[in-house]
Amino acid sequence: MSGPKVAVVGGSIAGLTAANVLRDASCEVDVYERSETLLSGFGTGIVVQPELVRYLLERTSTTLDDISVPSHEMRYFDAASGRNAGQVDAGWRFTAYNAVYQKLLDAFGTERYHLGKELVRVTPGVEGASASFADGTEVTADLVVCADGGGSVARAQLLGRKPDYAGYVTWRGMVDQRDVSPETWDFFQDAFTYGLLPDGHIIAYPISQVSSEGEVTGETRLNFQWYWNVDAGAALDELMTANDGSRRPVSVHFVALPASSLEQFHSRATNELAPVFRDLITGAPQPFVTIVADADVSQMAFDRVALIGDAAFTPRPHAAAGAAKAAADAWALADRLVEASGDVREALTAWEPERLAVGQAYLTKVRAMANALQHGGEFPPGAAEFRFGLPKPA
């Protein structure tokens, strides 16, 4: 017999993990994704945390080697002088967003993955919940799982909460071997590399290359982010204005980047960075810029509606576990639902306090990391409080 009917809104990491684990828990699941096309995530890198890949490793034939590349160290440099500031052994693996997305989608299938469904309103209720979409359609379900990301429409509607600008942006890019010198390529292999600056930082690491079909090719590329402090107001508005004159709320992708922004990006790299960092940054064929913002929430369950992943707590990226938190929210929801024998409200009552605690603890951790990394604070190599990953449950 089929369990509760579930509508998942948002079909990225949180949404697809929820869809898979809830379907495995006998729920009847449909996913409603705003995008008109399958997602690409622009191929950006993700550090592999156990929670992120748990579904793939436990319930599909995917192996870590299928989707990720290993490394053995975290290394710290002064990005201006190139001076080595230490290293620690750390066996992280790195993947690309679209590698994980594609595998999660393969596991769920596309039959009940509905594209072009933009949530405009969610309606919690004791007997049932509903989700209304911009195309005028509406679905009702026993449980609506809102996994609509950092800019969540559901969170804004239910809690009046939008992310707060964190005071800095991140320039992101990827380079292939042909884009940089052999010295630069070799320099960034087999490690997660920090380039520390008095007013910002760079991170770089190798990731799997993924074909346009979402298949890992076996080749690697380098993924980087360069975080700039930018005051809210005129300076931020200028940087986030695209070449069509529109002020973008979250990202200005390469195709929309004005020449003046690209020039500023290249000239800062040329003037401020040591040769390997400069070569990496200026080698990226298609850099793009994204605002860093975060949000906390006081509530994640509303009768038969749940907020999960970035739609609940939106964390800054510094502990590399935002996607892992999103996946863990989904696993916990399925576990509580099974324990409650499919009683949605009982399950949500048990689920919410635990997930609020994890979200709050993780946000506190990444804010502390940001204070050190963006403001020249103490960032000792390998310091326990700055290690990647989710906080352990109390």
Ligand X SMILES: Cc1cc2nc3c(=O)[nH]c(=O)nc-3n(C[C@H](O)[C@H](O)[C@H](O)COP(=O)(O)OP(=O)(O)OC[C@H]3O[C@@H](n4cnc5c(N)ncnc54)[C@H](O)[C@@H]3O)c2cc1C
DSSP 256: G
Does 230 sit near ligand X (CB under 6 A)?
no
Between 287 and 309, CB nearer to ligand X:
309
- Residue 348 backbone class (left: φ over 0; alpha: ψ -120 to 50; beta: rest): alpha
Does 324 sit near ligand X (CB under 6 A)?
yes
CB 94 within 8 A of CB 207: yes
Does 20 sit near ligand X (CB under 6 A)?
no
User: What minimum distance in Å lies between the beta carbon of 260 and ligand X?
Assistant: 23
Among 8, 22, 31, 52, binds ligand X (CB under 6 A): 52
User: What minimum distance in Å lies between the beta carbon of 19 and ligand X?
Assistant: 11
Distance of alpha carbon 317 from alpha carbon 365, whole angstroms: 11
**Given the structure tokens 């034939």, which residue do they identify?**
61
Between 120 and 383, CB nearer to ligand X:
120
* ∠ CA 140-142-144, rounded to 5°: 70
Does 359 sit near ligand X (CB under 6 A)?
no
Between 47 and 370, CB nearer to ligand X:
47
Extract the runs of DSSP E, i.e. beta strands, from the chain: 5-9, 28-32, 45-47, 68-70, 73-78, 84-89, 93-96, 113-114, 119-123, 129-133, 138-141, 143-146, 164-175, 191-197, 200-210, 216-229, 251-252, 288-294, 301-302, 305-307
Does 34 sit near ligand X (CB under 6 A)?
yes
Distance of alpha carbon 363 from alpha carbon 319, whole angstroms: 10
User: What minimum distance in Å lies between the beta carbon of 85 and ligand X?
Assistant: 22
Residues from 247 through 306 that contact ligand X (CB under 6 A): 290
Q: Which helix (H) or strand (E) holds 361?
A: helix 344-374
Contact string (CB under 6 A) for ligand X, positions 152-191, x = contact: -x----------------x-x-------------------
Distance of alpha carbon 351 from alpha carbon 347, whole angstroms: 6
Distance of alpha carbon 323 from alpha carbon 371, whole angstroms: 21
Does 238 sit near ligand X (CB under 6 A)?
no
Among 11, 43, 163, 342, binds ligand X (CB under 6 A): 11
Does 30 sit near ligand X (CB under 6 A)?
no
For the chain, the maximum distance between any two Cα atoms, rounded to a whole number of angstroms, is: 65
Does 348 sit near ligand X (CB under 6 A)?
no
What per-residue string of b and e applies to 233-261 under the rule 16 or more CB within 10 Å gives b?
eeebeebbbbeeeeebeebbebeebbeeb
State the amino acid at position 211 in one-letter form. S
Between 119 and 210, CB nearer to ligand X:
119
Query: Are β-strands 73-78 and 191-197 bridged in parallel, bridged antiparallel, or unpaired?
Result: parallel
Candidates 46-54, 64-72, 190-198, 298-306: pick the segment binding ligand X (CB under 6 A). Answer: 46-54
Tell me the site size for ligand X, rule CB under 6 A: 38
Among 22, 29, 46, 222, binds ligand X (CB under 6 A): 46
Among 163, 310, 334, 351, binds ligand X (CB under 6 A): 310
Among 6, 8, 9, 240, binds ligand X (CB under 6 A): 9
Among 22, 47, 196, 281, binds ligand X (CB under 6 A): 47
Secondary structure of residue 129 in the 3-state scheme: strand
| Interface contacts to ligand X, rule CB under 6 A | 9-15, 32-35, 39, 46-47, 49, 52, 117-119, 147-150, 153, 170, 172, 225, 290, 309-311, 317, 320-324, 326
